[in-house]
Structure 1
Amino acid sequence: MPRVVPAVIRALDVLELFLDRPELSARDVMERLDLPRTTVHELLVTLEARSYLISVPGQPVRYRLGMPVFQLGAAFAGRLDLVREAQDVARDVAAACDEAVHVAVLDGADVIYLVKVDSTHPVRMVSAVGRRLPAHCTAVGKILLSDLDQAALDDILAKGSLPGMTPTSITDPDLLRAQLEEVRAEGVAVDNGESDSAMRCVAAAVRDHSGAVVAAMSVSAPTIRWTAESHVEWTELVRDGAARLSAHMGHVAPAR
């Protein structure tokens, strides 16, 4: 294998320290990377010369990230293709559970399905890419609604009554708000036959490089195959799948 360049690795190590801190001193870098003072000084001077780091005004031995780091990140983000990335991850999740997997985005009070990977079972969910459904009746929609700020959610709920698709659909705004609170706490949402009486779904959020929720991923299955055990299994699958897609979109999960 080609030889890696130690100096480049160290420079990248320095830049990555700023992922969880807006500013660092030269001493901070020395202590966190366990490097000699001279080495750290040379790395910082070099990165500052190329504007990847800039000195904090009035504090010449404290640094923060410079504009070229933002420009590289923006160039990377601009080349990401949600649909392309989602198709690859959705296929893997569907292969693991042999059930339908969807990725959807929010459009006003509705969700629009961008990606669908079918199961191989003869009895399966009837859906299609481009289909639009009321967000509050779906697991993906509840995930996306739960991320809205209070004003945005109020605006959606103020536009009229919540239409029901099945007898179990939530049509009471107060009940929906309460369920969205649970979704925020759990990190997953469930559709208990609210968009199709014969189906169940579980969904999790997909985040981009900024941490914003940009989509939701779900696993959907007929009630005849939805058991307590499969619910647990598919919840973990969709959590993992959404986390993988988020990583592909540039999201860095916070350290636990």
Structure 2
Amino acid sequence: MSDIPAARNTMSVLRHLASRPGPVRASSLARELELPRSSIYQLLAVMIDEGFVVHYPEDRTYGLSALVSEIGTSALRSERLSRLATSLMHNLASAAPIPVVAHLAVLSGPEVSYAARVQGSRAPTTVSAVGVRLPAHLTATGRAMLAQLTAAQVRAIYPSRSALTRRQSAGPQTLPELTQLLATTRERGWAIEIGDVTADYASVGAAAFDRNGYPSAAIGLTFRTDAVANNWDELGAATVAAARALTARLTGRAS
């Protein structure tokens, strides 16, 4: 197994800080981890810059930031969502009139992160593997969630006036174009993406909500564009039904 001392020492510092009830001094870290004090200060400076560690200058101590717990919470949230959604996704994929891949995505800033994936019979290969991140405005699941946010929330996610990311020379290029697309998505009740992520592939998606009415996840179906024929409405309605069922599981309320 290859050994990268800086990476191993970084993990040691994080683990040590996590095991303590409060912030600690750099000298204590150096002594207990048996590392040069200069190395400890260098590691702490990088971790502070990356947002993982907080410096308390009044006490000359260091402690973990909220980012560490947020990362853990995010991982647990994705795992919980996956458990709640997987059976719904299996049913969705098996009942689809064409070969599909069902996936579960969560919104993370301007990206979606795939938390679960179920491949139906004879389903095509897709990029939506668990852990993969894609621009939210290009995916059906991302559009489904973005469409349920306020205009101010969408602007906060896309504050720049520069062109939006594109993969296939397709999809919205500007915030006004995205705003119009999201309005159409809200009116329809579910999102569509055709060739914006992968040429010759298309997707539909619908958002699921938590107790506060926030779109905490979205369920989507991806399939080959030449296979969909007249099944758009059927696929969209089925995805909406699965998303509503997930909402019921998330909230404890009947859909």
Structure-2 residue corresponding to 1:68 = none
**Is 1:217 equivalent to 2:219 in the alignment?**
yes
Structure-2 residue corresponding to 1:49 = none
Alignment partners' CA distance in 2, 1:224 and 1:182:
23
Structure-1 residue corresponding to 2:80 = 81
Structure-2 residue corresponding to 1:157 = 158
Runs of at least 5 residues in structure 1 that lack an aligned partner in the other structure: 1-77
Alignment partners' CA distance in 1, 2:252 and 2:188:
19
Structure 2 counterparts to residues 22-101 of structure 1, below 5 A = 81-97=80-96, 98-101=99-102
Alignment partners' CA distance in 2, 1:111 and 1:117:
17
* Percent identity for Structure 1 against Structure 2: 29
Alignment partners' CA distance in 1, 2:253 and 2:122:
35
1:100 maps to a residue whose letter is V
- Contact 1:208 1:251 survives alignment (8 Å): no
- Contact 2:101 2:123 survives alignment (8 Å): no
Structure 2 counterparts to residues 170-181 of structure 1, below 5 A = 170-181=172-183
1:212 maps to a residue whose letter is Y
Partner of residue 208 from structure 1, selected from 203, 210, 220: 210
- Contact 1:124 1:222 survives alignment (8 Å): no
SS in structure 2 at match of 1:165 = coil
SS in structure 1 at match of 2:87 = helix
Listed one character per residue, the Cα deviations across residues 168-214 of structure 1 (whole Å, up to 9, x for unaligned) are 22112211100111112222110011111111101111112333211
Partner of residue 185 from structure 2, selected from 162, 183, 187: 183
SS in structure 1 at match of 2:251 = coil
- Mean CA deviation greater in 160-169 or 86-95: 160-169
Alignment partners' CA distance in 2, 1:199 and 1:104:
17
| Number of equivalenced pairs | 175
- Mean CA deviation greater in 111-120 or 153-162: 153-162
Deviation at 1:131, TM superposition (A): 0.4
**Is 1:243 equivalent to 2:229 in the alignment?**
no
Alignment partners' CA distance in 2, 1:119 and 1:84:
18
TM normalised by structure 1 equals 0.64
Alignment partners' CA distance in 1, 2:136 and 2:242:
21
1:203 maps to a residue whose letter is G
Runs of at least 5 residues in structure 2 that lack an aligned partner in the other structure: 1-76
Deviation at 1:251, TM superposition (A): 5.4
